[in-house]
Amino acid sequence: MKIFSKEQIYEGDKLTTELQKISSTDLMERAGIQIFNWIHMRMQGAQVPIHVFCGIGNNGGNGLVLARHLITHGYNVVTYIVNCSDKRSKDFLINYDRVKNVTKEWPKMLSCSSDFSNIQIDEKDIIVDAVFGIGLNRPPNDWVKELFVKFKASKAFTLAIDIPSGLYTDTPVEDENAVVYANYTLSFQSPKLVFFMPETAKYTEQWEVLDIGIDRDYLIKTETRVELVGKLEALPLYKPREKFAHKGDFGHVLILGGSYGKIGAVNLASSAALSSGAGLVTAYIPKCGYHSMQAALPEIMVISDENETTISNINFNIKPTVIGVGVGLGTNEQTLKTFETFLKTNKTPLVIDADALNLLSSKKTLLKLVPKQSVLTPHLGELERLVGKWSNGFDKLNKVKDFSKKYDVIVLVKGAYSITVYNDKCYINTTGNPGMATAGCGDVLTGMISGLIAQHYAPLSATLFGTYLHGKAADIALEDYGYQSLIASHVIAAIGDAYIDLFKQPETPEVEQQNEEQAQ
């Protein structure tokens, strides 16, 4: 799913009104009706008090359309105008007149804190936030901030229209009290980047996209700088197997890493490479891990370094398709020298993780030796050592983009929403859960991406598909183990289920109800 920028959204609105020969007011009516339909389908006329707070711009106009339809359908609605400026949009004014025609009680005008001091909002009420939209370009007034604080203090269910008021689409928040905390956000046509950034995701617990009929060709043909990767985006990346294929068709992964006490990292990465579909996997490890690796994973081959506890001399006579390097590797001086020697002669595609990233950070001139379109998979600490400190999530992405372009590498920034960056484009993964915050999950991901590249997935496709499958496997395993008990081995065991899930059709409500009844 594409994530459109603010400028692209405005352009899409403008183009739609021209091509469909409708006014901007008509498009606003369409958006407001979609919001009403969403609410009406869930509430079915329930007389829960609904407080609709409208700004005086176009998002306020959306709120007025919603309020009018709620009123005409008999809902218990109170409409407020957050009068925070002298400038009112044309479409707001049109819909302000329209809402006055369907109610005896005109919208309540709020201009300062004393205007809303007597407003009673119960915990069981509903707040609709239509105060500010994506066009906000300055902090809200102090009294508007007081109103937002009142929203939060009420503990009422808060539904934001398009974006929680006070959020910007492409910059961080300076004052947390100047933003609405929404339980749910109905975003027009595509989600917003701020829904996925560490500092701003908290302002909406859940979100959903409403289709308001923006021109199809525009949506399809417009290239965006950010995309969301879910099942619909992952499925086309899948490569089916030929009936007469053999293991040689699916590549040879070399997992290069391990040190005394950290052989398990190589074990996890190697097992994940096999489970993701690689034809052959070889582990290159220090001598101390030879017997344990052979016993633990009979499906893989093992090459041991001459050194007992660390890798000191990378020397092998196989021809791997891809090398996953760094898991459990260690960062001592001898390992750094060995890694540098290896990079100077290696031409094989790399997936670089863990200590290999730390070695690159300690001697950044080595980055020039990394093969083009190699995949780097840092967590935030490793990323900071590579690109430097950042001031916020948006600054972080800009630094990663610059790094990716400079060295022509793919960078997977691991986190709650793992983000893959290549050149100027970002891909946000939608799978995964907090149970993955456990030792070894990163090693599993390294093995999976390596296994996919071995099967001739392009490095970027392998990264996107591998990250999706990795998170989906964890989501499946979560059902049996819960957040606290989920471990990396459980994720590996569920990789097959994640593949199978790609081809499952969504259950109909009737089937879901039958399953629930059987479970009871």
Asked if the model's pLDDT at residue 100 lies above 60, the reply is yes
- What is the pLDDT at residue 519? 52
Asked if the model's pLDDT at residue 517 lies above 90, the reply is no
Asked if the model's pLDDT at residue 512 lies above 70, the reply is no
- What is the pLDDT at residue 111? 85
- What is the pLDDT at residue 509? 56
Q: Which residue has the tokens 């094989």?
A: 348
Q: Do you know the residue count of the chain?
A: 520
- What is the pLDDT at residue 443? 98
- What is the pLDDT at residue 480? 97
Note the pLDDT tens digit of each residue in 146-162.
999 999 999 999 999 99
Percent of the chain clearing pLDDT 90 (strictly above): 88
Q: Which residue has the tokens 């990292």?
A: 265
Asked if the model's pLDDT at residue 3 lies above 70, the reply is yes
pLDDT confidence bin for 511, thresholds 50/70/90: low
Note the pLDDT tens digit of each residue in 300-344.
999 999 999 999 999 999 999 999 999 999 999 999 999 999 999
- What is the pLDDT at residue 63? 95
**Pair of tokens at residue 260:** 């005394």
Min mean pLDDT across 7-21, 106-120, 195-209, 487-501 is at 106-120
What average pLDDT does the chain have? 94
| Long-range contacts (CB closer than 8 Å, 24 or more residues apart) made by 94-103 | 94/25, 94/61, 95/25, 95/28, 95/32, 95/61, 95/64, 95/65, 95/68, 96/64, 98/64, 98/65, 98/68, 99/64, 99/67, 99/68, 99/71, 102/68, 102/71, 102/72, 103/71, 103/79
For 206, phi then psi, to 5°, come to -140, 160
Separation between Cα atoms, residue 28 and residue 21, nearest integer Å: 14
pLDDT confidence bin for 87, thresholds 50/70/90: confident
Note the pLDDT tens digit of each residue in 378-400.
999 999 999 999 999 999 999 99
- What is the pLDDT at residue 515? 58
Q: Which residue has the higher pLDDT, 515 or 239?
A: 239
- What is the pLDDT at residue 502? 96
- What is the pLDDT at residue 72? 93
pLDDT confidence bin for 86, thresholds 50/70/90: confident
Asked if the model's pLDDT at residue 84 lies above 80, the reply is no
- pTM: predicted TM-score of the whole model, two decimal places: 0.93
- What is the pLDDT at residue 116? 80
Asked if the model's pLDDT at residue 62 lies above 80, the reply is yes
The mean per-residue pLDDT over the stretch 109-131 comes to 89
- What is the pLDDT at residue 303? 97
Please, what is the angle between helix 354-362 and helix 380-387, to 10°? 20
- What is the pLDDT at residue 475? 98
The mean per-residue pLDDT over the stretch 343-350 comes to 96
Note the pLDDT tens digit of each residue in 428-440.
999 999 999 999 9
Asked if the model's pLDDT at residue 516 lies above 60, the reply is no
Beta strand pairing call for 419-422 and 425-429: antiparallel
Is the separation of the CB atoms in 428 and 419 below 8 Å?
A: yes
- What is the pLDDT at residue 390? 96
- Residue 403: its H or E element: helix 393-407
Note the pLDDT tens digit of each residue in 120-129.
999 999 999 9
For 91, phi then psi, to 5°, come to -70, -30
> What is residue 67's three-state secondary structure?
helix
